[in-house]
Structure 1
Amino acid sequence: MTIRAGVAGQPISHSLSPLLHGLWIEAAALDAAYEAFGPQDEAGFADLIASGRAGNLRGLNVTAPFKEQALAAADVVSPTARTCGSANLLVFEDGRLSADSTDGQGLMLALSEQAPAFDAKGASVVVLGAGGAARAAVVALKAAGAEVAVLNRTRERAETLSVELGCSVADPDAVRDAALIVNALSVRPEIDIAALRDDAVLMDMTYKPLITPFLAAGLARGLTTVDGLAMLIGQARPSFEALFGFAPPPVDVRAAALARLGETA
């Protein structure tokens, strides 16, 4: 019987997840399908979950705006997802729903791939933003031993996150001494790149464009940069394994994703 899985979000047409998982499914010769689902609202997402509980789906990756609803709907929640306050992976088994978050794994895999010299243990890290993406970054980096501080335009939101996750609240000048700066905002951060350390690593969670203005400024300065596509592929790998039962086969999905995005590097 065909294994059905997919990604749910709104909007969803831009998602690269069906491309990535589809290439792995093809390479592994699986009898499986990975589809994009675009529920219009919470009720539509609830219907999708009900379909999964009924045995019509093996699982779902979940993106905005349904990650918190996904967590709340689960019968079993991983410690990581509970700490993050959201889930991007749902797996159905015998009518029960398990929730997990692989965003942090994606972040750490991206760092190991594109900034191999960076050692998180004891490193000073500043995460820009205080939303769901920032929470996942903080949880993963703290687990890796980093000293994490959050910088957000609204300081109250950063303070709330710091209390919940055990990180600190950064002042704007903190980026000067950071070994790693992670942009978890959807816009370009207002940072003086010239004031950063010579060995600073810049990471942007956005992958469209691949080289954001933040990363472009870092590259012009000669800094090491990590793009959001590496993180997207990184979080998809453990998702594929959870959904289909084994690690993704060795396929160059990044090249296919770059072609889809119209990028060349």
Structure 2
Amino acid sequence: MTTQPYAEVIGDPIAHSKSPLIHNFWLAELGLEGEYRRTHVRADDLPGYFAARRDDPAWRGCNVTVPHKQAVLAHLDRVDPAAQAIGAVNVIVPENGGLCGYNSDGAGFLEPLTDLLGQTHLYRMARILGAGGAARAVTHALVAEGFDPVVLTRTADKARAFLDSLGIAGGHAAALESFAAPTDFAFDDRVGLLDLVVNTTPLGMVGQPPLALDFSHVPPGSIVYDIVYAPLETPLLAEARARGFRTIDGLAMLIGQAAAAFARFFGPAPPRDRDGELRARLTA
């Protein structure tokens, strides 16, 4: 058992995770003792994993990625109210003799939208594809910023249940496949509106099929945001860029959510003035 402080990211799969590069870059820049790792943990291994970490004084906590962001709730002693409302956790730290869960996905997702969110809009709508743990944080954050959510998942009923589980009485639910076929819908004037299209599914990730989305469903002037970061340029983002849409890639959210987690694991805030160099390393 190591005596050097460490944190880690857990998931299944996990080999693709770039989180160790991010956190270890910040540790080196700040001259802090510590290490950040990736650890492959299957669903059946979660009880044993947390039992072992509870007894490890060097462990500073973990990030949680797919598919465990909801399953880990059963293993925690306390959950931050915001994470409880989202129903998913992506940061776990030892606190006051127990394990506490937080969610930094929402704040990380919103970070590259900060300037836009400071502006006034007549109406804000977000088309959110997916209903997993990341989608819960994204939807919760966007609704808090005044967006009307359209959630698309395998079936409209599942999408409606997803909205209900977040306590969102309004919003819209649709089947993901309904956006795969062309539409002749004529969008009205979008001046003064803010439209987002957000992929929170693993579709487009390395080893996964591309997301089937026909761009006739994307309003003019939309921002297309894909939280997948392996590859950085997903088929969705490549087509969006080719069509002239503004795009945001998955590294923006990854770095943003990591910053909040880093402070909980290691104490100080990370050196965000080095984001350019960090992004260059992540894309090398």
Report if TM-score (shorter chain) is over 0.5: yes
User: What 5-or-longer segments of structure 1 have no aligned partner?
Assistant: 260-265
Alignment partners' CA distance in 1, 2:66 and 2:22 = 18
Deviation at 1:160, TM superposition (A): 0.2
Runs of 4+ in 1 over 6 A off after TM superposition: none
String of CA shifts for 1:89-134, please: whole Å, max 9, x gaps. 000134311101111111101333xxx4465974111111222222
Q: How has the CA–CA distance of structure 1 residues 196 and 38 changed in structure 2, closer, same or farther, with 3 Å as cutoff?
A: closer
Quick check: 2:197–2:218 contact (8 Å CA) kept in 1? no
Q: How has the CA–CA distance of structure 1 residues 195 and 85 changed in structure 2, closer, same or farther, with 3 Å as cutoff?
A: closer
User: What 5-or-longer segments of structure 2 have no aligned partner?
Assistant: 189-193, 204-209
Aligned-partner residue type, residue 201 of structure 2: L
Match of 1:256 in 2: 281
Judge which range, 186-195 or 208-217, deviates more: 186-195
Q: How has the CA–CA distance of structure 1 residues 92 and 13 changed in structure 2, closer, same or farther, with 3 Å as cutoff?
A: same
- Is 1:186 paired with 2:202? yes
Judge which range, 211-220 or 167-176, deviates more: 167-176
Match of 2:238 in 1: 216
String of CA shifts for 1:8-55, please: whole Å, max 9, x gaps. 11222211111100000000111111111112443x322222233223
Q: How has the CA–CA distance of structure 1 residues 8 and 70 changed in structure 2, closer, same or farther, with 3 Å as cutoff?
A: same
Where 1:190 maps in the other structure, the secondary structure is coil
- Residues 77-116 of structure 1: matches in 2 within 5 Å? 77-112=79-114, 116=115
Match of 2:248 in 1: 226
Pick from 22, 27, 30 the counterpart of residue 28 of structure 1.
30
Alignment partners' CA distance in 2, 1:182 and 1:175 = 21
Alignment partners' CA distance in 2, 1:38 and 1:21 = 17
Pick from 167, 180, 202 the counterpart of residue 224 of structure 2.
202
TM-score by length of 2: 0.82
Q: CA RMSD in A?
A: 2.3
Alignment partners' CA distance in 2, 1:231 and 1:137 = 10
String of CA shifts for 1:51-95, please: whole Å, max 9, x gaps. 332234111111122222322211111122212222110001343
Aligned-partner residue type, residue 222 of structure 1: G
Match of 2:47 in 1: 46
Match of 1:135 in 2: 136
Match of 2:39 in 1: 37
Deviation at 1:149, TM superposition (A): 1.9
TM-score by length of 1: 0.87
Aligned-partner residue type, residue 169 of structure 1: H
Deviation at 1:218, TM superposition (A): 1.2
Q: How has the CA–CA distance of structure 1 residues 212 and 87 changed in structure 2, closer, same or farther, with 3 Å as cutoff?
A: same
Alignment partners' CA distance in 1, 2:223 and 2:212 = 16
Quick check: 2:211–2:235 contact (8 Å CA) kept in 1? no
Quick check: 1:186–1:206 contact (8 Å CA) kept in 2? yes
Alignment partners' CA distance in 2, 1:158 and 1:196 = 19
Pick from 261, 265, 273 the counterpart of residue 239 of structure 1.
261
Match of 2:159 in 1: 158
Quick check: 1:175–1:196 contact (8 Å CA) kept in 2? no
- Is 1:66 paired with 2:68? yes
Quick check: 1:52–1:58 contact (8 Å CA) kept in 2? no
Quick check: 1:104–1:139 contact (8 Å CA) kept in 2? yes
Where 1:239 maps in the other structure, the secondary structure is helix
Aligned-partner residue type, residue 245 of structure 2: L
Match of 1:9 in 2: 11
Where 1:179 maps in the other structure, the secondary structure is strand
Match of 1:148 in 2: 149
Quick check: 2:6–2:58 contact (8 Å CA) kept in 1? yes
Deviation at 1:214, TM superposition (A): 1.2
